Every structure is written in C-alpha cells, then in structure tokens.
Structure 1
Amino acid sequence: MPIEENTLPFSATLATSPLQDVTDMMREISKYTDPTDIVREYIKRIRQFYPVDRVIALARPDMNSDEVFYACMGNWDKPVLPWGNLENFEPLGDGLLKNLCLNGEPTIVNDLTDELSENDRDILGEMNSLRTIPLFNKGKASQMIVGMKAEPNGFQQEDLSALVWLGNLFGKAVQNLIKAQELSVAYKAVDRELKTVGQIQRDLLPESVPEVPNLELATYYEPSARAGGDYYDFFPLEDGRLGIFIADVSGHGTPAAVVMAIMHTIAHTYSGPQKLPSQFLTYINKHLCQNFTTRSGIFVTAFYAIYNPQDKSLTYASAGHNPPVHRKCGASPVSTLDRAGRIPLGISSEITYDDATVKLTSGDRVVLYTDGIIEAFGSDETQFGMDRLGAIVGRCDLNSTTIVDAVVNQLHEFTGTTSQADDCTLVVMKVR
C-alpha cells in the first residue's frame, strides 16, 4: 500500500532524484522476464545517469582464443546479449577495440584522434572518446560494454568503480535469467519425452478388465511422475482361468518405466506351464537377471495369481511384493495372502518361487496394491496405512469398482496437496 505524504512521520521525506530515478529503474526492470527486454531497459535507464552517444557489446566466447565478437546495442530490432550463443554478433577485426577487450580491464580513452585501424573506424565512426566496462565470468572478462561519446574527454575516472560493480551485478542477474530460460526449454523438451514415455507405458496396460464368471474386477493406476514403474496385467488361460499380475519396479520415472516395459515383454513371451504362478515368476526373474537388472541394481516386487472360476480358488506366488488384502464379507479381521513369499525379481537368477492356494467364496474381496497406496503421506506426515485400506475393503456393500473409488477418494482426501513420491496401483477382485 503506497504511503501518502501527509501520513509520513515528521522526520521522513519522500525519495527524490537521483534516488527516485534509481528506484524507478529497478521497479521498471523488475517487470520484465525476457533477457533482451531487461538489457534494453537497463541500457536506456543507465544512459540517463551516465550519458553516452553509442554503446557496443564485445564478447569472448572462448577465453583460450583471441577471437572477439561485437554488436551494436542501439538497434533493438534484433536481440543483443553478450552471453549465450551471441546471436546477431559479428567477428571483430584487429585494432584498439579488440585489444581493450583482450586486456579485460576498465579503461577510459578520452582522445581517439590517434591513428585507428580501419576496423575501429568502421565501428567508432565520429566517436572521439570511449569507456570500457568488463563483465567477469569465472574470474575472467568474457564480455565488455563499451560506451562512446562524440566529444573528446567525455568520461570521468571516478565513474568507473560504480559502473563496474553495477554492470557486473546486473550482468550476473541476466546470465542467471538466461540459464533459467535454457533450463525451462530443456525441461519442457524432457517433459514432452516423459509424456510420450508415459503414454507408451499406459498403452502397455490392459485397455479393460476381462470378463470372468463369478468375478468382478476393477483397477486403478496413477504414476507419481509422467511415467512410473508400477505394472499390472491379465492373462487369459485355458479352462477359463485368469492370471492376475501386479508388479512394482524399484525407483521412479523413466528408468523404472523402461524396466516395466521390458518386464511386460518378458511376461508376454512366457509359453511354459500355466498351472503354477511360481513358474511364471521364475521365468521372468531368470530373464531379468540374465539380461537387465543385475548390472543396474534395479529389482522388481511382483505378485502373480491364477483364479479358477470353477472352484473359486486363487493360487498365487509372490516375489517380495506387498501381500494382497483378503476379507470375507461379515468377517472383521483382515487377512493377507502371505504364504508364498520370496525375494524380489531381478536379484538372483538362482531363485525359484513357491505357490499357495486359498479357496474363495461369494462376497470375498481380494485387493492387490503397490506400496504407493499404503505409504502415501498426509499433511501430518503420517502414512495412509493398512488400517484405512482394510476398513474400506471390509465394506460388504461395495463392489470392485466402488471399492476402487472409495480407496482413491479417501487417499486423495488423506494426502490433500502433499506431493507423493511413489506410483499407486490397485487391482480389486470381488467374488460373486
């Protein structure tokens, strides 16, 4: 809120020129985000305090070379920035200007009537005095701003110190802004690639849940980044049986998504016995270890189950994955499918996996999930946890789809705006 003059304490006074001019300059410069606009405004304003007739920029992109480039800073039709790729700069020939740039020191030349090179005269024209302000980067004068006047003896030595520190502080700020823009461009390019990776990954997931007699299925998948390492799949088997697979690749983002895609390929090339889930996990583990994970240190937790609609049995094997939640309608305790667990996939090719079978009845719910669900953090830094998940699964009035909806809604309510570090996946089964 602006302070009105009549509300100021008796000892206070409103800022006046030149302080007001400096304040106005800083206020105006703060409005810009484009480096060229900021430099243009800075040069225009600084010339009010230190008038010159012409300004040029010199740049040395390679400090191990004597090459110098120049550009006039009076023509703003094209961007002129002595940092970055030096767009619109031209090579500078031998002469006084080049020597001053190579010297890298603040300098005043108040008499340019001495013999100048043809290169200098083409640039200096009718100018008769100049002042150089070196701009330092990593201890070396890699850029220089040259102000010129038509009159001889146009510059004062006492102005140099203020111009050197002011110019270098401003130059560093502009460099940081340029770097920020470059990072923004790079981030957007990477983000576009990650979106593509994420879309490819989603295309690897089932388009819909399969129809199975006396079984309802529903799923939920949400990566923490554009792409993630969670994976679920369904495998129709002989005799109407269904393979149900869920996995979680260690790590996040693109590396996890790549391993997820590899695992998808391996899983869909399996042509061995279809009776035991352990054989399926052993096959995937062997191929991951032999070709991919042992060198990278990545591992995969996984759970694979085969549901038989004829007798409502579920035979399963686990590779270090979170045991699925199992609840019978009307029964208060939550049980977990944890009788066949071994180490994750991708650690040792010598590992074989075990099987266990559970008989399900009408109304039973089985929820497969990745740890991003139960380990999601709320604003108070507590985790969503098994109790909340189990309470939802215990509601007999919910079908598989409404169980997913209830978990997701409560999860979002619990986490609020807290960013999550892990992917979240659910596969919900309810026996009819």
Structure 2
Amino acid sequence: MGGDFYDFYPLDNGRLGIFIAEGGNRGIGAALSIALAKGFLMHTVRRNLSPREVLQRLESALGPLLESAGGDAATHVAYAIIDAAGGTIRYARTGEYPRVVVSSALSAEQKFEIPGTGTLLYEGSAHLRTGDTVLLFTDGIARRVRTTGPTAADGILKALAKKRREHELEDDLTNSKTTSPP
C-alpha cells in the first residue's frame, strides 16, 4: 500500500492546478499522508497562491507527516499551475521526484529551504507553445525506462515528448525499455 498519487484542481481564469506525490510504496502511512495533503490542497489552491506558497503552506501544516519516515523515505510532492491562455506553467516540488518536463522549453529551477523546516523546495516555470507536452512524473517512470538519476529520465522523456507521433506516449515509454537512452 502507498505509492504515487496525482490529482488536478480547476482554478479561476481557465487555469489548472496539478498535484503529484511520490509515496514510495511505504505503506498505509504514506498513503494517509498523501490523502491528508490532497484534502489540505482542496481548500488551499482556491486562494490564488503560487505553487511555492502552496507547498510552503502544505509543509507548515503537514510537514511532520510527509517527513515521517525521514530522509529519502519521505513523501515528496509537486504542485503545478498550467495557464493555457497565458502560455505558462509554474511549479514547485520537494525531493528529486516528482519532476516536471516541458517538451519545448527549458525550465530553470531555483532551490529554496522552507524556513524552519530544513525541507528543500525547487521552483520553476516555463513558457508553453502550441503543441507542447507537459509531463509530471515520479521515480516509477525513471525505473520503467531504466535510467539512473532524474536528469537521465528528464532527457529521455523530453525526447519522447518532442517526437510525439500519432500513437500514445505510453507506447514510447514501453518501447524505451528495450532501447538505450538518446
């Protein structure tokens, strides 16, 4: 029990909030902390806060639960806001995973420490163009495409998103298990 989780939240002005959590298959404790985070976000995202502010508030409210296993075993999360009309994605995340990849854009991340917690938070944004693919993923994808490290998975997924064809992205992911990285 446990594992990864995602949800989305319709926001004002046609924007979309997306939450993804890396639970790491650590049992019912991880599953419950993710469920509490989801409940917390249902109310917090309505306040028109930046992704960084949302995760800072989440960490303040639920930090001990999310970090209960400590270190690498902690539950890591990401929250992104996609503004299709404005052509942007803004996101914040904790931990190496979850990750955010945009097919045509580089997203420079800034690293911050959430005051009083020691938790590192990564914040980024990218401009979106027509036809772009946005991927939010956990370490399960990296394991599936047999990579080591988040930047290797980022490169493979970005290349797959760029060469998107008529078939499903899932087909590309399945095929990448048998080929070497680009």
TM-score band by shorter chain is: 0.7 to 0.9
Instruction: Write the distance in 2 (CA, Å) between the matches of 1:278 and 1:351.
Output: 12
How many aligned residue pairs are there?
Answer: 173
Query: Which residue does the alignment assign to 1:309?
Result: 84
Query: Which residue does the alignment assign to 1:410?
Result: 175
Instruction: Write the distance in 1 (CA, Å) between the matches of 2:22 and 2:34.
Output: 8
The answer to which structure has the higher strand fraction is 2
| Larger relative contact order, structure 1 or 2 (CA cutoff 8 Å, min sep 6) | 2
Give the alignment partner of residue 33 of structure 2, picking from 259, 276, 286.
259
Instruction: Write the distance in 1 (CA, Å) between the matches of 2:67 and 2:144.
Output: 29
Instruction: Write the distance in 2 (CA, Å) between the matches of 1:371 and 1:242.
Output: 23
Unaligned stretches of 5+ residues in structure 2 = none
Query: Which residue does the alignment assign to 2:22?
Result: 248
1:268 maps to a residue whose letter is M
1:325 equivalent to 2:90? Answer no
Percent identity reads: 26
Query: Which residue does the alignment assign to 2:163?
Result: 395
Q: Is the contact made by 1:322 and 1:371 (CA closer than 8 Å) also made in structure 2?
A: yes
Q: Deviations over 1:97-154 (max 9, x none)?
A: xxxxxxxxxxxxxxxxxxxxxxxxxxxxxxxxxxxxxxxxxxxxxxxxxxxxxxxxxx
Query: Which residue does the alignment assign to 2:5?
Result: 231
TM-score (norm 1): 0.35
Instruction: Write the distance in 2 (CA, Å) between the matches of 1:325 and 1:286.
Output: 27
1:325 maps to a residue whose letter is V
SS for the counterpart of 1:252 is coil
Query: Which residue does the alignment assign to 2:62?
Result: 288
Query: Which residue does the alignment assign to 1:278?
Result: 52
Q: Deviations over 1:139-192 (max 9, x none)?
A: xxxxxxxxxxxxxxxxxxxxxxxxxxxxxxxxxxxxxxxxxxxxxxxxxxxxxx
Q: Deviations over 1:72-98 (max 9, x none)?
A: xxxxxxxxxxxxxxxxxxxxxxxxxxx
Report the CA distance shift for 1:315/1:377 in structure 2 as closer, same or farther (over 3 A): closer
* 1:350 CA displacement: 6.5
Q: Is the contact made by 1:318 and 1:340 (CA closer than 8 Å) also made in structure 2?
A: no
Q: Deviations over 1:226-259 (max 9, x none)?
A: x332111111111111111212124533332222
Report the CA distance shift for 1:230/1:363 in structure 2 as closer, same or farther (over 3 A): same
Unaligned stretches of 5+ residues in structure 1 = 1-226, 329-334, 415-432
Q: Is the contact made by 1:243 and 1:305 (CA closer than 8 Å) also made in structure 2?
A: yes
Query: Which residue does the alignment assign to 2:107?
Result: 337
TM-score (norm 2): 0.74
